[in-house]
């Protein structure tokens, strides 16, 4: 198993200050969440050991083929199609995560072993591919492991899905948990902004103060990444979350947080459109990588009159004005100087978060000895993250 449940094992960090503390080398699983039974057990308990053995094998290609046979045997053992269809939504989301974690591993470990595309597909197997397709029929999403799978539906605090053993597995768990904590804070900031935008008579000062508080907390958690995450341990698991080596598909990334998009739209949507329209172009271009229900809601704000909110809106093509009503700008325009200053403080907090994300990504992925694989110039860290800053903030 990745972690044994024992009195000496460490529970998940209970405070923001505890992530990346490196105080334990095992994961305490306090509540098993295994919606697919044997399949889920394999992903959680056995897959990290299989990966470790393949990495140490003198014939990794043969070891990977053996893993493929094990996967096919497990999937053939139960009618997982029927089980998947009958799961309640909360369990289905975890089951989809299990399926995508295993599928992604099969591709990534095949690449590690130097297998060609055809052999990689055999490692995945038709039965697992069928399960992946079935999960996407029930809940549309990208055909590879997504940010939603990795962070939002991964039961990180109770029974995390990780690829590594030992201290690297704990660091991987904390990496996912840190993202979950940030997502929670972003949602609270968004809730405050939505109340300001949509609720008549809302206390603007209180809403903006709450937004500021939660953005600062999100930034604090992200700073823990920058200051305390181990580069060596990070390097052991980051390879599994990269671009799919056999498909033209990006890997899961914090850039696909729909909550960052929502907060940016609410706070600085019109300014971003005027100064950095590429931000919106990229969100629409890569919309399938974002959590679908959430990004669709944001698109609905931006194009309330369109039946298909996924289509590039007229305002992005210069055929209409930017929809200011999707933002808090109309409310701020009627506020006093204190309200405008509070909004400016929130904008600076969001920019600080983006700059910290940028610095952290550079530190852990671009420093000498940490090659960037499968990233074109248009998908570089600078191109992606700095387009989220207002021009004045980037100077």
Euclidean distance between CA atoms 283 and 265, whole angstroms: 11
What does the pLDDT read at residue 388? 80
pLDDT tier for residue 8 given thresholds of 50, 70 and 90: very low
Residue-wise pLDDT for 243-289, tens only, equals: 999 998 899 999 999 999 999 999 999 999 999 999 999 999 999 99
pTM across the whole model? 0.91
Distances (CA, A) of 313 to 258, 328, 345: 18, 20, 30
Task: Average the pLDDT over each of 126-140, 198-212, 326-340, 361-375 and give the range with the smallest value.
Answer: 361-375
pLDDT tier for residue 9 given thresholds of 50, 70 and 90: very low
pLDDT above 90 covers what percent of the chain?
79
What does the pLDDT read at residue 13? 61
pLDDT tier for residue 1 given thresholds of 50, 70 and 90: very low
Please say whether the beta carbons of 225 and 362 come within 8 A: no
Residue-wise pLDDT for 33-58, tens only, equals: 999 999 999 999 999 999 999 999 99
Q: How many CB atoms lie within 10 A of CB 114?
A: 10
What does the pLDDT read at residue 307? 75
User: Which two tokens mark 77?
Assistant: 């053992």
Exposure string for 190-228, b = 16+ CB within 10 A, e = fewer: bebbbbbbeeeeeebeebbebbbbbbbbbbbbbbbbbee
Euclidean distance between CA atoms 183 and 42, whole angstroms: 28
Per-residue pLDDT averaged across 342-350, rounded?
A: 96
Alpha carbon dihedral 135, 141, 144, 145, in 10-degree steps, equals -90
Q: What angle do CA 98, 104, 108 make, to 5 degrees?
A: 145
What does the pLDDT read at residue 225? 96
- pLDDT above 90 for 178: yes
């Amino acid at each position: 198993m990745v972690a044994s449940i024992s009195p000496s094992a460490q529970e998940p960090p209970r405070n923001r200050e505890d992530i990346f503390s490196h105080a334990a080398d095992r994961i305490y699983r306090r509540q098993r969440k295994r919606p697919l039974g044997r399949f889920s057990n394999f992903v959680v308990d056995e897959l990290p050991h299989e990966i470790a053995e393949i990495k140490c094998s003198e014939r990794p290609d043969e070891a990977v083929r053996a893993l493929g046979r094990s996967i096919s045997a497990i999937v053939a053992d139960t009618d997982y199609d029927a089980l998947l269809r009958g799961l309640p939504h909360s369990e289905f989301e975890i089951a989809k995560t299990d399926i995508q974690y295993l599928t992604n591993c099969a591709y990534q470990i095949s690449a590690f072993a130097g297998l060609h595309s055809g052999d990689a597909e055999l490692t995945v197997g038709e039965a697992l591919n069928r399960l992946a397709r079935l999960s996407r029929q029930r809940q549309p999403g990208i055909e590879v492991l997504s940010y939603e799978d990795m962070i939002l539906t991964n039961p990180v605090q109770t029974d995390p899905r990780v690829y590594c053993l030992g201290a690297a597995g704990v660091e991987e768990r904390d990496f996912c948990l840190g993202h979950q904590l940030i997502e929670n804070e972003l949602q609270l900031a968004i809730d405050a902004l939505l109340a300001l935008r949509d609720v008549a008579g809302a206390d603007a000062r209180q809403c903006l103060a709450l937004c500021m508080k939660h953005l600062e907390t999100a930034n604090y958690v992200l700073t823990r990444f920058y200051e305390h995450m181990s580069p060596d341990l990070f390097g052991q698991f980051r390879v599994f979350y990269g671009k799919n080596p056999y498909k033209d598909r990006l890997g899961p990334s914090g850039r696909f947080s729909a909550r960052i998009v929502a907060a940016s739209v609410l706070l600085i949507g019109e300014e971003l459109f005027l100064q950095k329209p590429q931000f919106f172009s990229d969100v629409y271009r890569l919309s399938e990588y974002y959590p679908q229900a959430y990004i669709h809601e944001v698109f609905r704000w931006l194009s309330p009159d369109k039946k298909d909110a996924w289509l590039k809106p007229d305002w992005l093509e210069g055929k209409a004005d930017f929809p200011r009503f999707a933002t808090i700008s109309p409310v701020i325009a009627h506020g006093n100087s204190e309200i405008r200053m509070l909004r400016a403080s929130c904008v600076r907090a969001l920019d600080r978060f983006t700059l910290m994300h940028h610095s952290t990504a550079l530190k852990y992925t671009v420093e000498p000895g940490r090659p960037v694989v499968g990233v074109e110039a248009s998908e570089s860290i600078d191109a992606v993250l700095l387009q989220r800053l207002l021009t004045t903030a980037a100077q």
